Amino acid sequence: MAHLFNRNILLGVSGGIAAYKSAELVRQLQELGAQVRVIMTRGAQQFITPLTLQALSGNPVHTELLDSEAEQGMGHIELARWADLLLIAPATADLIARLATGRADDLLTTVALATAAPILVAPAMNQQMWHDKASVDNIQTLIERDISLIGPAEGEQACGDIGPGRMEQPEVIAARAASFFDSGLLQGRRVVISAGPTREALDPVRYISNHSSGKMGYALARAAVDAGATTTLISGPVSLETPAHVKRINVQSATEMLEQCLDQCSGSDIFIACAAVADYRPADIQTQKIKKGPEHISLDLVRNPDIVATIAGGDPRPFTVGFAAETNDVVPYAREKMQRKGLDMIVSNDVSNEGIGFNSDDNEVTVIWPSGEQVLPRATKASIARQIIALIGARICANNSENQEK
């Protein structure tokens, strides 16, 4: 059953009589698990109040393009980036015409231009307007631009006409929205993902760690669930909520992470090592707090086990994907790391760039496998994660067919 857990749906409501159905649509989307935010055009507010949709969605409704308060909080670019799907329902003939001509004359059309998320449009208009050559041409333009349509449905219209033009039923639209994310690519597969930092204790109150927030690993877990996988996260200490339908195991140190990874990877199909594991740990953990003493002290550190290399060295072993946090010569270093650790794939990111990598919402990576590589340009970690999962699915299929040919 398709769902919208972990999904941000931006619902655009334009000014037609079907706008009253958007209240039910918000409810249907939420029942499937979505977070919903609403943008209303000026016309929509003539049919249903922002207050109604605010109360139902649990979020402020956005109405103005130029609103200094909104720009400091959720302005048009933030909304465009927040959305996993822009759903416009109802979409009037006028709104469709403005989308087709690329206008940016209100908040909804501006967000439609600014978003990288897919767009799903549910037209609603009089049947004669739907059949008009201008509307037909506009709809064709949207289709050519990969904007998806749902409906319109046929039947008796508010104006008394009979024919196509009614907005599709909210439950049908919500199910179509959910189907956008239901790739089924990893259906039936077991995926284990490590995420976040490790903490290597020095004494009862101090530790060695790094700036990993867990965002990349958690985004991968969401994407794996969406692809149909049974997903386990082995997580260092982070302040993120566990994604829906994900089993989470908390660990602190690299040694604990290794133990859990070995346990969970047995019988799994895919292991993705996204955690920023400390390479060294203190040779001894002091049982008492270390007292301030001389001007200089030295720490005796020992190498931690290499978790991803250990999993990749198992037999049988899952399809094993590592990450490479590099600051220079990113791709050659990452390729060498993939070979040295015996991985099937590695995802390299440049962690010297502040806007991506550690503790940021975006990333930009090159995914490398023995016979190829693909650059994934800067995008949200959610989007990068979905693309990585798609590439993993594609590589597993390719490996399977190569093995069958042998």
Active-site amino acid positions: 159
Among 129, 274, 312, 392, indicate the residue that binds ligand PMT (CB under 6 A): 274
Closer CB to ligand PMT, residue 138 or residue 264? 264
User: Phi/psi of residue 208, each to 5°?
Assistant: -105, 135
Which residues is 85 bridged to in the sheet? 9
Residues 312-331 within binding reach of ligand PMT (CB under 6 A): 322-325
170 belongs to the binding site for ligand PMT (CB under 6 A): no
Which residues is 373 bridged to in the sheet? 368
State the minimum distance, in angstroms, from the CB of residue 63 to ligand PMT. Answer: 33
Closer CB to ligand PMT, residue 99 or residue 276? 276
Q: Is 163 exposed, middle or buried (0-12, 13-18, 19+ CB in 10 A)?
A: middle
State the minimum distance, in angstroms, from the CB of residue 267 to ligand PMT. Answer: 20
Query: DSSP state, 168?
Result: P
Query: DSSP state, 84?
Result: S
User: Phi/psi of residue 301, each to 5°?
Assistant: -110, 145
265 belongs to the binding site for ligand PMT (CB under 6 A): no
Q: Please check whether residue 191 is in contact with residue 224, taking contact to mean a CB–CB distance below 8 angstroms.
A: yes
Alpha carbons 126 and 164: distance in angstroms, whole number: 8
Residues 237-256 within binding reach of ligand PMT (CB under 6 A): 254
State the minimum distance, in angstroms, from the CB of residue 321 to ligand PMT. Answer: 8
Closer CB to ligand PMT, residue 92 or residue 380? 380
Binding residues with ligand PMT: total (CB under 6 A)? 28
Q: Which residues contact 295 (CB under 8 A, 6 or more apart)?
A: none
**Under DSSP, is residue 271 helix (H, G, I), strand (E, B) or coil?**
strand
Closer CB to ligand PMT, residue 15 or residue 236? 236
Closer CB to ligand PMT, residue 4 or residue 385? 385
84 belongs to the binding site for ligand PMT (CB under 6 A): no
Give the distance, in angstroms, between the CA of residue 12 and the centroid of all CA atoms in the same chain: 20
Among 106, 168, 226, 306, indicate the residue that binds ligand PMT (CB under 6 A): 306
Q: Please check whether residue 238 is in contact with residue 193, taking contact to mean a CB–CB distance below 8 angstroms.
A: no
**Under DSSP, is residue 375 helix (H, G, I), strand (E, B) or coil?**
strand
Closer CB to ligand PMT, residue 90 or residue 322? 322
351 belongs to the binding site for ligand PMT (CB under 6 A): yes
Buried b (16+ CB within 10 A) or exposed e, 228-249: bbbbbbbbbebebeebebbebb
State the minimum distance, in angstroms, from the CB of residue 136 to ligand PMT. Answer: 46
Among 349, 366, 380, 383, indicate the residue that binds ligand PMT (CB under 6 A): 349
Closer CB to ligand PMT, residue 292 or residue 303? 303
- x/- track of binding to ligand PMT for residues 190-229 (CB under 6 A): ------x---------------xxxxxx------------
Q: Please check whether residue 215 is in contact with residue 233, taking contact to mean a CB–CB distance below 8 angstroms.
A: no
Alpha carbons 304 and 282: distance in angstroms, whole number: 10
Among 11, 275, 338, 367, indicate the residue that binds ligand PMT (CB under 6 A): 275
According to DSSP, the β-strands at 270-273 and 319-326 are: parallel
Alpha carbons 301 and 281: distance in angstroms, whole number: 5
State the minimum distance, in angstroms, from the CB of residue 214 to ligand PMT. Answer: 5
* Interacting residue ranges for ligand PMT, rule: CB under 6 A: 196, 212-217, 254, 273-277, 279, 304, 306-308, 322-325, 337, 349, 351, 357-359
